[in-house]
């Protein structure tokens, strides 16, 4: 955490290593251009064992929207250290995240239960995505695969239609004001008269 007189002068983002996975999550009221209710960044480094399972070697979780500042989920990171990356991990993670993501009942912004639930939901989605990447899509039950894809906004298409007004101005067409073009383009000059 930064002190009052400290400033960040550089940030280093290393490439992920083999068996290391990272995901970022954001939940807002709207998908575009909105302040997040809760955010999370999660990173795990898994170590394969002789039996073919994967064990948590390193885990990092950062949570935003559950406290005054973004904070690490240190308790959860310690609890899951050395655990096998399987379905038994979920209950341990959710129990630990309840402590790390505790939102007081009188927290600004409200939605306390919703914010707490979002953190667990983010972790579950992270767990499924890592499992799918590490072990293949067949390791995920079909009913849970809907949590895997990320939302992507479809490409926007637009058309602009305009009317060419004949200078003779037929009666049935609207007649634009003489200063309309200048007002729309910002060329209009405002003159103020002061009466004494």
Number of neighbours of residue 132 by Cβ within 10 angstroms: 17
Query: pTM of the entire structure?
Result: 0.71
**What is the mean pLDDT of the segment spanning 79-92?**
94
Under DSSP, the state recorded for 84 is B
- 137 contacts: CB under 8 Å, gap ≥ 6: 145, 148
Mean pLDDT (the chain, rounded) = 86
State both tokens at 35: 């302040």
Give CA separation, 147 vs 55, 139, 144, in Å: 22, 14, 6
| Cα separation, 79 vs 97, whole angstroms | 10
| C-alpha dihedral sign at 97, 23, 13, 36 | negative
How far apart (Å, rounded) are the C-alpha atoms in residues 127 and 114? Answer: 20
Report the Cα–Cα distance between both ends of the chain, in Å, rounded: 62
CATH architecture of 20-140: 2-Layer Sandwich (3.30)
> Predicted confidence band at 173 (pLDDT cuts at 50, 70, 90)?
low
Q: In the prediction, which pLDDT does 61 show?
A: 95
| Residue 33 binned pLDDT confidence (cut-offs 50, 70, 90) | low
Is pLDDT larger for residue 147 or for residue 153? 147
Mean pLDDT of 84-107: 89
Whether residue 94 has pLDDT greater than 90: yes
157 vs 45, higher pLDDT: 45
In the chain, domain spans: 20-140
Task: Say what the pLDDT of residue 27 is.
Answer: 87
Note the pLDDT of residue 83: 95
């Amino acid at each position: 955490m930064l002190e009052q007189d400290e400033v960040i002068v550089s940030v280093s983002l290393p490439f992920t290593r083999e068996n290391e996975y990272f995901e970022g999550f954001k939940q807002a009221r709207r998908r575009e251009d909105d302040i997040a209710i809760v955010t999370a960044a999660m990173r795990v480094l898994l170590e394969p064992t002789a039996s073919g399972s994967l064990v948590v070697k390193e885990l990092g979780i950062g949570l935003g929207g559950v406290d005054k500042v973004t904070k690490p989920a240190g308790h959860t990171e310690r609890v899951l250290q050395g655990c096998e990356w399987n379905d038994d991990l979920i209950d341990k993670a959710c129990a630990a995240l309840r402590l790390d993501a505790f939102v007081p009942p009188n927290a600004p912004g409200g939605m306390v239960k919703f914010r707490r639930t979002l953190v667990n939901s983010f972790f579950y989605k992270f767990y499924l995505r890592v499992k799918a990447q590490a072990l293949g899509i067949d390791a995920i039950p079909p009913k849970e695969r809907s949590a895997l894809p990320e939302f992507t906004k479809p490409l926007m298409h637009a058309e602009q239609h305009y009317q060419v007004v004949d200078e003779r101005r037929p009666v049935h067409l609207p007649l634009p004001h003489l200063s309309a073009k200048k007002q729309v383009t910002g060329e209009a000059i405002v003159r103020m008269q002061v009466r004494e």
